[in-house]
Structures are given as structure tokens and as C-alpha cells.
Structure 1
Amino acid sequence: MEQQRILPTGATGRGLTVDHLIDVFAAYDPRPGDIRGDHDLNGFRPKPDNREAAVLIPIVKRKDGLSVLFTKRTDHLKNHPGQISFPGGHTEEEDESAEHAALRETEEEVGLPHDYIQVIGRLNDYVTRTGFRVTPVIGLVEAPYPTDPDEHEVAEVFEVPLSFLMDKANHQKCSRIFMGVKRYFWAMPYEDYFIWGATAGMLKNLYDVLEEKGE
């Protein structure tokens, strides 16, 4: 199993600096009623009784630019096998906050300790078609960092340049037929990785926040 892969970061995008991200999220206050999700592109109302979850959007600080850490799920999992995801999962009773849940899940899945991560904010909650209300937590990760992926859940850990993900030219609006209905979703393919669905949708939300704040 390939546990970690660092892909070329390329040029740093305009404004994509640590200081800029910290400033943006110090001033950004997600409104509870402003929910993002799969419904943005598909015109349905999110259900009110979604299960709570949290993910970490880990932005890695490297000398040649910022990058985003992803996991590739193993093929044998019941839910979303083989898909590209952020580390995260269900919010448990012992979790004090979404931030606590995201950091706990990241350490459990990836083996990345929380003391390598500086939480700087969160995005609006994201509702999935499968019934989850996910809080995306933004964290800056010190590199180099240790990893010890859970072999049952994680096939690979890798990074993609933040400048690529925050380039609107790389945002694709795609569709497929699901149970006889055409469903639309965002995708951001990078090299051999097809980043799509809720993961790409949260990245699109991050892009929108940075665009609004002058990125």
C-alpha cells in the first residue's frame, strides 16, 4: 500500500499564503442558516434531520507553496469505496466540538497528531445527499509530519497544490444518472485522482470564501 505521496505543488497562487488564509478565517463567520451541499446544483431542499459529521481540510505548509492533504479510501469499504476524501467522520458524544471531531478522526485515520495542526476556522456546513451534515474545519499542517494510515480505511495519503484547487479553470460541473435522475456535482481531476462530490463541493466553497475576501 502506498501510504503517502507528495505531488508537485507548482507555483503558489496569488494570495494563497498562510497569512492571507489566517486573516480570511479570522474575519469569516459562517452563518448557521447558510448551508451548502449537494442541493446547490440539484435544486432539492436538504433534510432537517441529517447526521452530524466533521472533516478536516488540511492545508500543508511547504517551502514551495501550500498543498491540501487527501486520503483515498480503500476499495472494500461499504460507503464510498475508492473515493478521494478529507479525513473525518461522525461526530461522537465525547467530541466537544466539530474541531475536536475533525482532529480526532484525522489522527485515527491518517495517524497525523493534532499538535501538527493549527485550526484557523471553518466553512459553512455541507449537507450530502446521503444524509450527513458535515462541518469542514480548516487546519494548517506543519511539514514534515508523521503519518500512520489505518489500513482498513485508507489506501493512500497524498497532497494536491492548493493553487490548482483554487483555480476556477480546474472546476468542472459534471453529471451522472442516479436512480433514473440526472445529478450534478463538482469535480476537480488532478493527475490520476478524480476529486469529486462532497469533497470537491467543499473545495468550491473554500474557493468562494477566498474569492469573496479578495483572493
Structure 2
Amino acid sequence: MRPDCLSAESERRCRRLLAGSTARLRARPAAAAVLVPLCLARGVPALLYTLRSSRLAGRHKGDVSFPGGKSEPADRDVVHTALRETQEELGLAVSEEQVWGLLHPVFDQSKNSVVPVLASVGPLDLQSLRPNSKEVDEVFVLPVDHLLQTQNQGYTHFCQGGHFSYTLPVFLHGPHRVWGLTAVITEFTLQLLAPGTYQPRLVRPKPPRD
């Protein structure tokens, strides 16, 4: 990984690239938002992940995720949703000034939109966090270098009706496997932070053959 991914120059580049989508997406309602926390862990650029509580209801309990959740009527916009949820889940206060921009939305199985909000939270000591035990079982980081190494990248092919439908990335060999929408958002982040270095694994559905 290039050592300047958290530099002021890198931040300016990312903010500039995300400016258009950020303005557009902040003006739209969305079902949910997550924070993609870019941090320095022991001096190394990394992404912060959570392991959702195994006691939660629903299909995503026990999954790796970014902090976030459903939008509430009192939320001003998706950025407010992501920052509020991060405070509630981790006790981590992130200001709007730390937000670099909004990444491409992803959609869950119910077709609800989830907007990823990229922010730099600076040097981070995991011991300083106060995870909400009702929502989070564990908090961990994966260095950006680790995520960019091909031996730690995989993919899963999904079929529908007996035919290939789409491919999603998977990130391996960390404390927990990163897959699903969280892996897709991770891929978007790596493409932004390390242009030309990360080879995308996300494959859009192909039209059926005649």
C-alpha cells in the first residue's frame, strides 16, 4: 500500500473524487447508512470493522460489518445516520469534518439502499472504544496493506435458477472473514484509496443467453 493513503494530499484527492456523489446522495433519503472508518492502528493505515452480536435478531447476526444502521426520522441525512450509529455502537464520536465523502450505495436482499460514508478517524486504540454489547461482539481492524494482498482476496459466485448471477468479493485471513455487502463496500474503498493497485472482484449480473 502506498504510505500516503492518509496524507492530506490523498484526502484532498478522495474528497474531490467523491464530491459529486456526496452532494447527490446526501440530498436523497436512504434506508440505512454505514461508516467506513479509515484509521491509523499502531501507525498503520487500516479499516475498522465490527462483529455483529450473535444475540441480534435477523439474518445478519454474527456477521462482520461496518458500524451503522437504519435511518431514523430525526436524522438530518445519511451522514448523520452513520455518525449517530457509530457513536451508539462503539462510543466513537466522529465529526462531519472527518467525513471524506459518500461511496456508491449498495442494496440488501430486500432492495433497500445502504449508503457507505467514508471518514478518517485518525489514530485509534481499540481499547479506547466502548462497544455496545447488545449490538457488537467484537471490534477489529484490518490493515489496508493486508486487504490489498492478493493472497487475502477471494470471491464467491452466486447462482440463481441454475445460472450464474453475480460474483462478490471476500477478504480472508483476518480475525474474521469479510464478505457480503461489507466486502463490496471494502472493495469500493480500496479502489478509491489505491487506484490501479486493487483489482475488483465484483462482477455485475450478466444478461441471460438466448
Q: Does 1:16 align with 2:33?
A: no
AA at the equivalent of 2:36: I
Deviating 4+ runs (over 4 angstroms): 176-183, 211-215
Pick the aligned partner of 1:198 from 172, 181, 193.
181
Contact 1:53–1:133, Cα closer than 8 Å, also in 2: yes
Equivalent-residue separation in structure 1 for 2:153 and 2:97 (angstroms) = 27
Distance 1:186 1:72, change over 3 A: same
Q: Deviations over 1:84-126 (max 9, x none)?
A: 0000011111111211110000001111122597111121111
Partner of 1:56: 35
- Structure 1 contact 30–124 (Cα < 8 Å) conserved: no
Q: Normalising by the residue count of structure 1, what TM-score does the alignment of the two structures yield?
A: 0.74
Shift of 1:52: 1.5
Give the Cα–Cα distance (whole angstroms) in 2 for the partners of residues 15 and 115 of structure 1: 22
Distance verdict in 2 for CA 1:203–1:191, change over 3 Å: closer
Q: What is the RMSD of the two structures over their aligned residues, measured on CA atoms? A: 3.1
1:9 equivalent in structure 2 = none
State the one-letter code of the partner of 2:168: F
Aligned residues: 189
**Aligned match of 1:68 in 35, 40, 47?**
47
SS at match of 1:81: coil
Conservation of the 8 A alpha-carbon contact between 1:173 and 1:185: yes
Distance in 1 (CA, whole Å) between partners of 2:44 and 2:147 is 13
Q: CA deviation at 1:212?
A: 4.3
TM-score for both structures, normalised by structure 2: 0.76
Cα separation, partners in 2 of 1:62 and 1:19, compared to 1, 3 Å? farther
Quote the Cα distance in structure 2 between the aligned partners of 1:15 and 1:30: 23
Question: Partner letter of residue 71 of structure 1?
Answer: T
Q: Structure 2: 5+ residue runs without aligned partners?
A: 199-210
Q: 1:109 to 1:180 in 2, by over 3 A?
A: farther
Structure-1 residue corresponding to 2:131: 149
Change (3 A) 1:65 1:116: farther
Distance 2:3 2:123 in 1: 21
Deviation at 1:157, TM superposition (A): 0.8
1:140-166 residue CA offsets vs partner (Å, 9 max, x unmatched): 113345311111110001111022223
Could you say if the C-alpha distance between residues 93 and 166 of structure 1 is closer, same or farther in structure 2, counting changes exceeding 3 Å?
farther
Of 172, 189, 193, the match for 2:154? 172
State the identity %. Answer: 27
Q: Does 2:140 match 1:161?
A: no
